[in-house]
């Protein structure tokens, strides 16, 4: 088992020299004093849901002394009307809602909006400040500041009891329900406006730490993103405890000891992760989605963008059960089910790659031969009621799990990685749509039983995926592909139902790669350190450490990877995922 690494928890994408980063309210407001000198100026401070609007507003009032202040919350519909608006998309399930087309304009009361617009338009001189989520919709602003916030920080605020919702006070709500509202309603609405504003915002305000806010000019923000898609990059990983969490990541990734465990690491989920842009000695943290929204074609490649739009379709994350417990027994929906019930256009096909495994580790995958469907349904229902253990040995097929094994998991396949394993999960992006069938009779971190979704699960299970089918179709489907001086390549996974193709390269020398015009996502699954280089010197050499995930944008084209530093002379291995764009 691995017990050390140089894993970089705060990777930075450097931006060219000569860029000003204003740190702290004093420096930020000094930079904006020129707005007060204009005969008339409407300043819109657009705030992403979860930004502490009161604190931002107060800083701007004290620093700029506007003659008119308009808080967008004055224009929102009543909370009861907002609840009615969102009810069809939130429903009463604690986890799942429905994707929808709501926009921030839908949260505004037409009469209040018109009245406030009129007040702003009648301001003939001086500075008018409009602040909040939807500020850009209340006026024709002369200057726009976008106050942005990383999704991980939003989740921390939700867990601390802060209200992060649009137009309703949800501070007393359960954190899981806050996340659900954000995922299905608020973030979708805010992102639709954000996509319109990214090309034209005048300043980007990083509000992740309001004790030390940071601001850069809009042009510098866009320059940083434009430079990022010309080279390999890493997003900022985050680590979270889980009811089944283990100890591997705490040791290998050098994590703090104050958490009960670390079960998950999201190290390439651009919808959730952030991107650190380095401006000299300062870093500005922005959602990685900003990069996806502003440069989808260059990042994803034309064919992938044509299929998925401005959405990053590949997800890498780490699941740690070393010294922990089994993951939940679960199943993901088929495409037609996720489309019909939840409004998603593709489902979560995934695979589990074993970065590391203890002796005796197992992966539960598929069903036993001769499965009695009615008996399994009955046993799961009885186990949910409590007091009865689900007899998994009668229904679910176990498989030995060793380091570098690869298990494919198309939607509809019952699965669970067991204790003693360190899993690199490679999946399609709709990760929230997981139907838990059995939690091994344990409580969640909050001391209550985690939700089970048996009816969704029973409608999704493919009952003919028994052990013989699984062994033939899903376990270590490894095929040699090519070889060269000091390297060899293998196919490790591409089920006919999935769109993610994975290839593994073993190497002691330099391996040639090419994006083929589509985004590549890789993880260093063996070796201390490698160097990613451009044969044409199009980007600076990029260092990657063991267990780190990195993205190579589709527009990069050719690149190479070789052992570096402490790994020189040893055999390294990467696993690479890409989107299959042709049969």
Element (H, E) at 250: helix 248-252
Is 7 a member of any domain?
Answer: no
Number of structural domains, the chain?
3
| Cα–Cα distance, 156 to 478 (Å, whole number) | 40
Where in the sequence is the domain holding 513, given as residue range(s)?
479-579
What sign has the CA pseudo-torsion 578, 236, 266, 532? Answer: positive
Determine the distance from the C-alpha atom of residue 539 to the mean position of all C-alpha atoms in its chain, rounded to a whole number: 26
* pLDDT score of 7: 95
* pLDDT score of 386: 85
Domain boundary among the residues 201, 228, 255 is at 228
Is 346 a member of any domain?
Answer: yes
What percent of the chain clears pLDDT 90, i.e. is strictly above it? 92
What value, to the nearest 5°, has the Cα angle with vertex 178 and ends 172 and 179?
Answer: 155
Q: How far is CA 459 from CA 92, 364, 394, 429, in A?
A: 19, 20, 20, 21
If asked whether residues 275 and 400 sit together in one domain, one would say yes
Residues 6+ apart with CB under 8 A from 5: 252, 253, 254, 528, 545, 546, 547
Q: How far is CA 225 from CA 196, 220, 322, 355, 557, in A?
A: 16, 9, 37, 31, 18
If asked whether residues 119 and 194 sit together in one domain, one would say yes
If asked whether residues 505 and 558 sit together in one domain, one would say yes
* pLDDT score of 3: 62
Looking at residue 53, which CATH number applies to its domain? 3.40.50.300
Q: How far is CA 358 from CA 191, 334, 362, 400, 420, in A?
A: 42, 32, 9, 10, 5
Is 187 a member of any domain?
Answer: yes
If asked whether residues 149 and 214 sit together in one domain, one would say yes
What value, to the nearest 5°, has the Cα angle with vertex 167 and ends 116 and 98?
Answer: 130
| Cα–Cα distance, 322 to 225 (Å, whole number) | 37
Q: How far is CA 22 from CA 31, 35, 71, 516, in A?
A: 8, 16, 25, 39
Tokens of 231: 């080279």
Q: What is the dihedral of CA 193, 152, 556, 513, to 10 degrees?
A: -150
Question: Among 393, 401, 397, 431, which residue's Cα sits nearest to residue 414?
Answer: 397
Residues 6+ apart with CB under 8 A from 284: 21, 204, 206, 214, 216, 221, 224, 276, 277
Q: Three-state SS for 161?
A: coil
DSSP string for 10-32? S-EEE--SS---EESHHHHHHHT
Neighbours of 161 (CB within 10 A): 12
If asked whether residues 62 and 198 sit together in one domain, one would say yes
Which tens digits make up the pLDDT trace of 505-529? 999 999 999 999 999 999 999 999 9
If asked whether residues 381 and 460 sit together in one domain, one would say yes
If asked whether residues 124 and 186 sit together in one domain, one would say yes
Question: Among 232, 315, 225, 311, which residue's Cα sits nearest to residue 269?
Answer: 315
* pLDDT score of 35: 93
Residue 92: Cβ-neighbour burial (10 angstroms; 0-12, 13-18, 19+): exposed
Neighbours of 496 (CB within 10 A): 8
If asked whether residues 460 and 513 sit together in one domain, one would say no
SS (H, E, C) 29-49: HHHCHHHHCCCEEEEEEEECC
If asked whether residues 532 and 431 sit together in one domain, one would say no
Strand partners, 266: 238, 317
Is 157 a member of any domain?
Answer: yes
If asked whether residues 31 and 173 sit together in one domain, one would say yes
Element (H, E) at 227: helix 218-228
Tokens of 345: 């256009």
Is 546 a member of any domain?
Answer: yes
Taking the model in full, what pTM does it have?
A: 0.96
Domain boundary among the residues 432, 456, 473 is at 473
Tokens of 331: 């199943």
If asked whether residues 265 and 131 sit together in one domain, one would say no
If asked whether residues 248 and 380 sit together in one domain, one would say yes
Is 272 a member of any domain?
Answer: yes
- What residue ranges of the chain have pLDDT lower than 50? none
Looking at residue 533, which CATH number applies to its domain? 2.60.120.10
Is 338 a member of any domain?
Answer: yes
| Cα–Cα distance, 108 to 103 (Å, whole number) | 10
Question: What values do phi and psi take at 14, rounded to 5?
Answer: -70, 145
Is 2 a member of any domain?
Answer: no
Domain boundary among the residues 431, 454, 473 is at 473
């Amino acid at each position: 088992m691995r017990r050390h690494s140089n894993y970089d928890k705060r990777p930075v994408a450097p931006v060219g020299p000569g860029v000003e980063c204003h740190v702290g309210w004093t420096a930020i407001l000094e930079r904006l004093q020129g707005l007060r000198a204009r005969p008339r100026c409407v300043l819109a401070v657009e705030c992403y849901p979860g930004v502490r609007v009161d604190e931002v507003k107060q800083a701007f009032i004290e620093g700029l002394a506007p003659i008119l202040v308009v808080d967008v919350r004055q224009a929102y519909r009543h909370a009861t009307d907002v609840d009615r608006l969102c009810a069809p998309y939130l429903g009463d399930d604690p986890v799942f809602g429905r994707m929808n087309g709501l926009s921030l304009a839908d949260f505004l009361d037409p009469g209040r909006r018109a009245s406030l617009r009129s007040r702003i338009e009648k301001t003939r001189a001086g500075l008018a400040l409009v602040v909040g989520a939807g500020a850009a919709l209340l006026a024709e602003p002369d200057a726009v500041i976008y106050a942005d916030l990383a999704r991980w920080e939003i989740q921390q605020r939700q867990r601390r009891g802060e209200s992060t919702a649009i137009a309703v006070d949800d501070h007393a709500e359960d954190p899981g329900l806050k996340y659900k509202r954000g995922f299905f309603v608020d973030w979708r609405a805010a992102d639709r406006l954000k996509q319109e504003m990214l090309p034209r915002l005048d300043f980007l305000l990083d509000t992740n730490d309001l004790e030390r806010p940071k601001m850069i000019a809009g042009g510098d923000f866009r320059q940083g993103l434009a430079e990022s898609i010309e080279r390999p990059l890493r997003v900022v990983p985050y680590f979270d405890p889980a009811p089944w969490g283990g100890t591997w990541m705490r040791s290998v990734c050098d994590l703090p000891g104050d958490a009960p465990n670390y079960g998950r690491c999201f190290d390439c989920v651009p919808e959730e992760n952030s991107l650190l842009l380095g401006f000299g000695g300062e870093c500005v943290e922005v959602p990685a989605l900003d990069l996806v929204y502003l440069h989808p074609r260059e990042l994803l490649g034309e064919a992938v963008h044509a299929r998925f739009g401005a959405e990053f379709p590949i997800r890498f994350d780490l699941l740690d059960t070393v010294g922990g417990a089994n993951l939940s027994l679960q199943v993901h929906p088929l495409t037609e089910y996720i489309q019909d019930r939840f409004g998603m256009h593709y489902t979560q096909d995934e695979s589990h790659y074993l970065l590391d495994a203890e002796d005796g580790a197992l992966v539960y995958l598929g069903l036993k031969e001769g499965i009695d469907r009615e008996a399994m349904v009955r046993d799961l229902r009885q186990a949910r009621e409590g007091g009865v253990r689900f007899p998994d040995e009668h229904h679910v097929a176990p498989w030995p799990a060793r380091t570098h094994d690869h298990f494919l998991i198309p939607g509809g396949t019952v699965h669970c990685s067991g204790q003693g394993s360190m899993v690199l999960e490679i999946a399609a992006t709709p990760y929230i749509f997981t139907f838990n069938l059995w939690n091994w009779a344990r409580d969640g971190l909050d001391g209550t039983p985690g939700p089970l979704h048996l009816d969704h699960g029973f409608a999704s299970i493919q009952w003919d995926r028994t052990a013989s089918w699984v062994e033939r179709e899903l376990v270590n489907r490894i095929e040699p592909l090519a070889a060269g001086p000091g390297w060899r390549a293998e196919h490790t996974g591409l089920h006919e139902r999935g769109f993610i193709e994975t290839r593994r390269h073993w190497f002691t020398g330099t391996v040639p790669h090419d994006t083929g015009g589509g985004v590549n996502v890789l993880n260093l699954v063996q070796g201390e350190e490698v160097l990613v280089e451009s044969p044409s010197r199009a980007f600076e050499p990029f260092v990657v450490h063991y267990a780190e995930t990195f993205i190579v944008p589709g527009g990069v084209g050719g690149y190479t990877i070789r052992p570096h530093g402490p790994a020189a002379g040893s055999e390294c291995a990467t696993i690479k995922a890409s989107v299959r764009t042709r049969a």
